[in-house]
Amino acid sequence: MPRSRPGRRGGDKRGKQSAAPLIHAGEDYPYLDLRVDDHAEPLAELCRLYEESRRLDLPFLQFLPRRSRGHL
């Protein structure tokens, strides 16, 4: 997981409370789409979700159609 930039905040006056990376890898579907809303420590929770995703979701990606295989 990429490192966060300390002190960087969004436009909400409450400060940091959400995080949502959306990563595409050249396909029509996202490689990774995670979201944490209204959490006291959104980056820590995002890291936890990322680890769960690595264990449960990312292995499934090898079975999806890919442009490099001529599927799309």
Tell me the per-residue pLDDT of 8-34, one tens digit each, with 9 for 90 and over: 555 556 666 888 999 998 888 898 999
Range of the domain at 41: 17-58
Taking every pair of Cα atoms in the chain, the longest distance, rounded to a whole number of angstroms, is 47
Q: What is the pLDDT of residue 52?
A: 94
Q: What is the pLDDT of residue 68?
A: 84
Residue 29 domain flag: yes
Q: Which two tokens stand for residue 53?
A: 């995703």
Dist CA 67 CA 23 (whole Å): 17
Residue 23 domain flag: yes
Dist CA 16 CA 57 (whole Å): 26
Contact (CB, 8 A) for 23 and 37 = no
Cut 0.85: pTM above it: no
Residue 9 domain flag: no
Residue 51 — very low, low, confident or very high, per pLDDT cuts 50/70/90? very high
Domain count, the chain: 1
